[in-house]
Structure 1
Amino acid sequence: MEVILQVLRQQPQQAPRMQRYTLEVQPGTTILECLNRVKWEQDGSLAYRKNCRNTICGSCAMGINGRSALACKENVGSEIQRLEAGGVLQTEDDRPIFTVTPMGNMPVIKDLVVDMKGFWQDLKAVDPYVSTASRQIPEREFLQTPDQRAKLNQMGNCILCGACYAECNAKEVNPAFPGPHALAKAYRTWVDSRDDRTEERLEQYNQGTAGVWGCTRCYACNAVCPMDVDPYDQIGKLKQQILHRKGDQDSRSIRHRKAMVDLVKEGGWVDERKFGVRVVSNTFRDLPGLFSLGPLGLRMLVRGKFPFTFEASEGTAEVRSLIEAVQALPHEDK
């Protein structure tokens, strides 16, 4: 079959431009093979990263038809099926059009090659290494049980391709957020039975929007991860460990989470009249926070969007019992 590969190309100090290439391919031809053929047969100036060609190294991560993926993993046939299922397959003269772009949240060096310096700095910032101090124990090995080792398997599958980082909405608006890749590695280090910095690490990850609370819970990282690491799930586990140790007076981020659960227990869903008061004003303990709600409250009143009453959900009792059952479960630790 004949396909059109359109690549977003960019040179230093120049505006990006879309360039098209026509290729004769088979359904099983990978996107990386398409790029290789363009480079070898049509345009040797095309720049992109690649290495293993076997979904191991993570080098060939890039934007493929609107989401970050590994070019060596995705093929022409599967992409056509995915785009058709979503109703977004573009064609020209019955030829499918595939769009390839550089990854997001990272500066472009050339064409599909991005500068990953920030990616590696964010990873380093969470100190994702088992503490060397914990290994300074004489006359014995550092053994782990099969169960202890199994806790590391999912996060250990991360190949640091950058796909989750490129799709992260929190990183896009908040440069201080370390990114899902870093926090997934952070949880892998925290849960390691050989590490002795348990509480210190949780304090580090509890630094407001510069830590786990900066996550916007969009699930984009889970959706694009080619290795099923599910970074958002690991961020959630870190949050649970922090919430287990902290009270609602420790920070607004923690109060936000606890207030939401308490309000859902009370009424089946969140009573928005109480939510801002409990979280932002800390139930009238934080007067500046309370006054900061004034402009928003006035705008809501003017536009008729301020709820004067609250009607509890019909299933409040069932919701409350479910939450309480979950809260009564034994707390999972290392």
Structure 2
Amino acid sequence: MEEGNTILECLNRIKWEQDGTLAFRKNCRNTICGSCAMRINGRSALACKENVGNELAQIPEHHRPEIPEITIAPLGNLPVIKDLVVDMRSFWDNLEAVEPYVSTAGRTIPEREFLQSPQERSRLDQNGNCIMCGACYSECNAREVDPTFVGPHALAKAQRLVADSRDTAIESRLENYNQGTKGVWGCTRCLMCNAVCPMDVAPMDQIGKIKQEILTRKDKQASRSIRHRKVLIDLVKQGGWVDERKFGIQVVANFFRDIKGMLSLSPLGLRMLARGKFPLGFDASEDTAQVRSLIESVQTLKSETPEEEILPKS
């Protein structure tokens, strides 16, 4: 093979000339359909997009064997049917769980089209580029350890509906996406979905936008996940960084309201005390005032600026 050949061309040649039983999915051959997603040298990518030269470039020349190898494997987090073909049912079921279509009420326009301004439509551009290839789902650490987590692909699509001016079910959607680790709070922010997405959808960023919508509507008592985020910001504003003594009490013990949560902290606290790792005091950062000013400036900007003006340009 030549360095300019794509991985998909390599697989075609194997199937056509060496082993006709090799099974893999393909369709458009042009980075549009997402069918040929697989793990190439340990990372999820599109076989029609990656080429031999780029893969060889990842191997330092002094470590490159006379006949270099490129390792191809099926996507992760999905059962293998045969060779590189995986069972995508959980992927599609989780997408369906977030109801990835404009609400019925939003579609009921009897006399005219439902028009959007260019600014309203531009809010859908980035997550609208998703081709459902499964690369992000394959690399999702949260999905690997928590089978109830719907996955980054579903939540990236969910954000498209939250941001859609035609949708009339935003509040009920946010309640659905706020369901513990099944929804947005299951994301561990490992950045792997952003790293492997071939269309620059940045699923983790989309999940963050949904979180922000939820946080603006909920107070600290709504859930531990929401309290975690709000307390973290409050403590950093107070001292420039997190006072770990207060963090556990305010988040897990819920300001001494959650007795069970407070008791769950006792074994860890005792071990820390025994090993001299429990901070008896707290030294605020010398730059606390500057940190507080930065946080308040960002919060003011978000509250006063239309979202489409502060969204990153893709």
> Would the TM-score normalized by the shorter structure come out above 0.5?
yes
Does 1:64 pair with 2:45?
no
After TM superposition, the structure 1 = structure 2 runs for residues 287-298 of structure 1, keeping only pairs within 5 Å, are 287-298=259-270
**Residue 181 of structure 2: aligned partner:** 209
What are the superposed Cα offsets for residues 132-188 of structure 1, whole Å, 9 maximum, x if unpaired? 222224333211001111111111100000000000000001111100000000000
* Residue deviations 1:116-139 (CA, integer Å, cap 9, x gap): 000000000000000122222433
Letter in 1 for 2:189: R
State the one-letter code of the partner of 1:150.
Answer: S
Is 1:222 the counterpart of 2:198? The answer is no
Matched, 1:52 2:28: yes
CA contact (8 A) 1:248 1:255 kept: yes
4+ runs deviating over 6 angstroms: none
Q: CA deviation at 1:42?
A: 1.0
Q: How does 1:275-290 map to 2 (within 5 A)?
A: 275-290=247-262
The aligned amino acid for 2:89 is K
For residues 207-260 of structure 1, give each alpha carbon's deviation from its aligned partner in whole angstroms, at most 9, with x where no partner exists.
011110000000100000000000000000000000001100111110000011
Give distance in 2, aligned partners of 1:319 and 1:73: 43
| Residue equivalent to 1:256 | 228
Q: Tell me the number of residue pairs that the alignment of Structure 1 and Structure 2 aligns.
A: 306
CA–CA distance in 2 between the matches of 1:288 and 1:231?
Answer: 35
Unaligned runs of 5+ in 2: 309-314
Equivalent in the alignment of 1:197: 169
- Does residue 1:152 correspond to 2:124, yes or no? yes
* Cα pair 1:90 1:97 within 8 Å, conserved: no
- Give, in whole Å, the separation in 2 of the partners of 1:260 and 1:79: 41
Q: Please tell me whether the aligned partners of residues 161 and 170 of structure 2 are also in contact (alpha carbons under 8 angstroms).
A: no
Residues in 1 aligned to 2:67 and 2:276: alpha-carbon distance in whole angstroms: 51
Q: Residues 155 and 188 of structure 1 are in contact (CA less than 8 Å); yes or no, is this contact kept in structure 2? A: yes
- 1:323-334 to structure 2, matched below 5 A, reads 323-331=295-303, 332=306
Correspondence for 1:125 among 73, 97, 120? 97
* Cα distance per residue 1:90-111 (max 9 Å; x no partner): 643x222211111100000011
Deviation of the 1:333 alpha carbon: 5.7
**Partners of 1:264 and 1:114 in 2: CA distance:** 45
Aligned position for 1:134: 106
3-state SS of 1:109 partner = strand
TM-score of the two chains, using structure 2 as the length reference: 0.94
Distance (whole Å) between structure 2 residues aligned to residue 66 and residue 330 of structure 1: 38
User: Is the strand fraction higher in 1 or 2?
Assistant: 1
Three-state SS of the structure 2 residue aligned to 1:182 is: helix
The alignment yields a C-alpha RMSD, in angstroms, of 1.5
5+ residue gaps, structure 1, are 1-24
Question: Post-superposition shift, 1:49?
Answer: 0.8
Which piece of structure 1 moves more, 119-128 or 42-51?
42-51
Distance 1:210 1:65, change over 3 A: same
Question: 1:144 & 1:107 partners in 2: Cα distance?
Answer: 41
